[in-house]
Amino acid sequence: MVLKTRSELAIMDHANAIVQETLRMLAEHLRPGISTAELDRLAEEFILSKGARPAFKGYHGYPATLCTSVNDVIVHGIPSERCVLREGDIVSLDCGVVVEGFYGDGAVTLPVGQVSPNAWRLLQVTRECLERAVEEARPGRRLGDVSAAIQRHAEGAGFSVVREFVGHGIGRSLHEDPQVANYGIPGTGPELRPGLVLAIEPMVNEGGPGVRVDPDGWTARTEDGKLSAHFEFSVAVTDDGPWVLGMGS
Ligand code: MF3
Ligand code: CO
């Protein structure tokens, strides 16, 4: 596990500030009738205008700036002109950037117009899973505490967590050790140390935990066709507690 210095964390804070600004900009454009390809163009143009570079484009051949995952798509939905958002959809917008050799990574799932009460509750619970996991990102806690916080809250609400995809360490690479599972046992796993940065990303399904990947090799969907939500922050472990990078504090 690579530990970052204060000045490296400052660069990662900047990278993640661009991620968060991008996500806020996209939220303002989100409405029924917009395509996910249009959101992707807006994101790429915005990121480049900030002097950063999209991190996902070209990563293992991924073709776009964003992952746009609609309804039953869990993660890694590829933006498309044919994917036009409709009232009642939920869409995960996942964005990564590189600044001065350091990565930022973050995601939100947003409602398009009015959504069903069930969809709304899924978004709320998944956001809370991330908040609870962040609270565990402290020196002396263990990785299993972070993972267990996600699982406990999601399953306590009657939802399930995805096992095939995980959060990750982040720094000079998009994916560093350790893997941050969305399920786990408190008090187990490596101890968290100051300078560690984790991209924590709960993926919570309304129904069962099963996953199926489309023939495109990317688009990961729920097996049962029910909804899935996904939120992600890059979080630094510091002596002062969890530092959610890019949130302007
Ligand atoms: N937030 C996701 C991750 O960290 C997005 C990666 S998409 C990819 O894995 F295309 F870059 F793989
Ligand atoms: Co990530």
What are the pLDDT digits (tens) for 228-244?
Answer: 999 999 999 999 999 99
pLDDT recorded at residue 249: 60
Contacts 24+ apart (CB under 8 A), 62-67: 62/218, 64/40, 65/40, 65/95, 66/26, 66/36, 66/39, 66/40, 66/93, 66/94, 66/95, 67/92, 67/93, 67/94, 67/107
Residue 192 within a domain: yes
**Atom 11 (ligand 1) nearest CA:** 56
Whether 228 is covered by a domain: the verdict is yes
Residues 132, 161, 76, 83: is their CA dihedral positive or negative?
Answer: negative
Ligand nearest to the CA of 200: 2
Backbone angles phi, psi at 239, to 5 degrees: -65, -20
Which atom of ligand 1 lies closest to the CA of 201? 1
Q: What is the pLDDT of residue 248?
A: 87
In CATH, what number is assigned to the domain containing residue 188? 3.90.230.10
Q: Give me ligand 2 centre to Cα 162, in Å.
A: 14
Q: Is residue 71 part of a domain?
A: yes
pLDDT for 8 equals: 98
**How many domains is the chain partitioned into structurally?**
1
pLDDT number for residue 65: 98
Residues of the chain with pLDDT under 50: none
CB 74 within 8 A of CB 61: no
Q: Does any domain span residue 210? A: yes
Answer whether residue 1 is part of any domain.
Answer: no
Ion ligand 2 contact residues with beta carbon within 5 A: 105, 199
Q: Which ligand is nearest to the CA of 94?
A: 1
CA of 106 to the centre of ligand 2 (A): 7
Residue 249 lies in a domain: no
Range of the domain at 63: 6-244
Does a structural domain hold residue 108? Answer: yes
Q: Which atom of ligand 1 is nearest to the CA of 59?
A: 11
- The rounded Å distance from CA 83 to ligand 2 centre is 23
Residue 92 alpha carbon to ligand 1 centre in Å: 12
